[in-house]
Amino acid sequence: MTNLRSFKNILFISACVLSLIIALCFMISIFTTLITKGGGAINWQLFFASTPSPGGQGGLANAIVGSLVITTLAILLATPIAILTAVYLVEYGQKRRLARIVQFANDLLLSVPSIIVGLFIFAIVISRVGHYSAYSGALALAIIALPIITRNTEDMLQLVPVQLREAGIALGVPRWRITLMILSRAARPGIITGILLAIARVMGETAPLLFTALSNQFWSLNLNQPMANLPMVIFQYALSPYQSWQQLAWAGALIITCFILITSFISHYFLQARKHS
C-alpha cells in the first residue's frame, strides 16, 4: 500500500517536472531561433535604412519609427479615458449597478479577439474614408490598450487607503482635487505599470493593423496614409520567398521581442515597488 502511494506520488512529481522542462525547452528553442536568425541580420543599416524592394538590401528604420508613432498615439488616446473610467469605478461608482456593468464590459473588452477590433475599425473608419491610415491603426490599438490600463489603474486605486480620501474631504478639498492631487500620486506606480503592460501588448499586435494601418514600403510620417510598422513588415516579409526579406523579418522579430521583454521587465519592477510600499 505504501509502495503504491509513493509510486503514484513519484509519478505525479515527475509529470510536473517533465512538463516544466518541456515547456522551458520550447521557450528556449524560440529564443535561440530568434537570436541566431535575427542576431545575424542586426547591423547599423537596419536602424537607418528603409525597407528594401524585393530581394534588395535595406533596413527597418521606417517600420521601427512607424511602430513607435502608432503605439504612442494609441497609448495617448487610451490613457486618459482608461484612467477616468477607473476613477469612476473606484471613486464614484463604487458598488452601483452601472459600475458593475462597466467592470464586466471591461472584462469582455479585455478578451475581444484583436482581429475583430481591426474589422471594427475598418467598418467604422476605413470603409467610410476609403483609404488605409496610420491613425485608424492607432485607434484600433487604443481599443486594445484601453481595458488593460483601466484594469491596472482600478486595482491600484482600490489599494489606496480610505483614510487618504477622508483626510482630503475633512480639509474641504473637492473630490476632483482629491483624485488629481492625492490619489493620482498614490496610484502612480500602478498606472505606469498598466501603461507599460499596454505598450508591451500593443507593440506586437499584428491582426488589428492588417486592415487599418496596413504597411508602407517607404518612409512616411503622414498619419493619414498607410504607415510601415514592425508587426506588419514581419508578417509580410516572413512569408515572402526572398532571402533578404526573411532575414529582415527575423531581425524585426528579435527587435520587437527585446523591446517587449524590456518593457514588461520594467513593469514588473514597478509592480515590485508597489508591493513593497
Site for another protein in 56-85 (CB under 8 A): 80-81, 84-85
Of 176-195, binders to another protein (CB under 8 A) are: 176, 179-180
**Nearer to another protein among residue 48 and residue 268 (C-beta):** 268
Closest CA to 56 of 44, 42, 45: 45
107 binds another protein (CB under 8 A): yes
Smallest distance from another protein to CB 269, Å: 10
Per CB under 8 A, the list member of 35, 186, 207, 223 interacting with another protein is 207
Q: Quick one: cell of 40? A: 545575424
Q: Give the integer Cα–Cα distance in Å for 213 and 118.
A: 10
Whole-angstrom distance, CA of residue 191 vs CA of residue 202: 16
**Minimum distance from CB of 248 to another protein (Å)?**
12
| Residue 270 beta carbon to another protein: minimum distance, rounded to whole angstroms | 13
Look up residue 225 and give its three cell numbers: 496614409
Number of residues that bind another protein (CB under 8 A): 101
What is the CA angle 147-193-254, rounded to 5? Answer: 90
H or E, element range at 167 = helix 162-170
**Binds another protein (CB under 8 A): choice among 34, 63, 192, 255:** 34
Cβ of residue 141: shortest distance to another protein, in angstroms?
Answer: 13
Q: Which of 170, 171, 243, 276 binds another protein (CB under 8 A)?
A: 170
Q: What is the CA radius of gyration of the chain?
A: 23
Binding range to another protein, per CB under 8 A, among 42-50, 52-60, 171-179, 181-189? 171-179
List binders of another protein among 145-164 (CB under 8 A).
Answer: 146-147, 150, 158-159, 161-162
Q: How far is the CB of 46 from another protein (least distance, A)?
A: 17
CA 55 to chain centre: 32
Residue for grid cell 545575424 = 40
Task: Give CA 130 to chain center in angstroms.
Answer: 28
Among residues 124 and 221, whose Cβ is nearest to another protein?
124
129 is a site residue for another protein (CB under 8 A): no
Q: Which span sits near another protein by CB under 8 A: 48-56, 57-65, 66-74, 263-271?
A: 263-271
User: Cell match 513593469: residue?
Assistant: 267
Positive or negative: CA dihedral 218, 224, 226, 231: positive
Instruction: Give the CB-side neighbour count of residue 223, counting CA atoms within 13 A.
Output: 12
CB of 142 to another protein, least distance (A): 10
Out of 42, 61, 68, 120, which residue is the one contacting another protein (CB under 8 A)? Answer: 120
Residues recorded for the chain: 277
